[in-house]
Amino acid sequence: MCRMAWWVVVLSIAARRYSLPRALEIVAGRQSDRPTPADPLEHQRLARAIDLLLSADVLMFRPICWKRAAVLHRYLSQSGTPTRIIFGVRNDRSGTVTGHAWLEAEGQPILETTPPEYVATYRFPSNERFDPRLATISLE
């Protein structure tokens, strides 16, 4: 959990200094060259650990979905489970636009309590072109 805390700090600082894609790239690190069979129990353990850490709700340790997704992406990718971070938006019932970030593995959402019903606006890692002005929007 201490290493996860370190990566939350790195991500928080990087997201303020660089574009979002660059900050995510810094935290993602290298993916394992050897895909391994998915271990759902290990994935749940990692998700519980980052959720507990972010539930502290102090300083940069706040329950924010994009931080959760970025740190989980790092740990899952390094353990041999390739994932993508998906950022999406939707119109809320009150008419406001809300956003969410989640992980996908093999094109399916993982480690979410309910299936995300958002229109995907950005994926990481991605070869898609993005508007750098959108990457500098405040994330908190």
Question: Nearest to residue 122, comparing CAs of 99, 88, 77, 82?
Answer: 88
Structural domain including 6 reads: 2-136
**Domain count within the chain:** 1
Mind listing the pLDDT tens digit of every residue in the chain (140 residues)?
999 999 999 999 999 999 999 999 999 988 777 767 778 899 999 999 999 999 999 999 999 999 999 999 999 998 889 999 999 999 988 989 999 999 999 999 999 999 999 999 999 998 766 555 555 445 44
What's the whole-model pTM score? 0.85
Beta bridge pairs of residue 108: 105
Residue pair 84/76 in contact by the 8 Å Cβ criterion? no
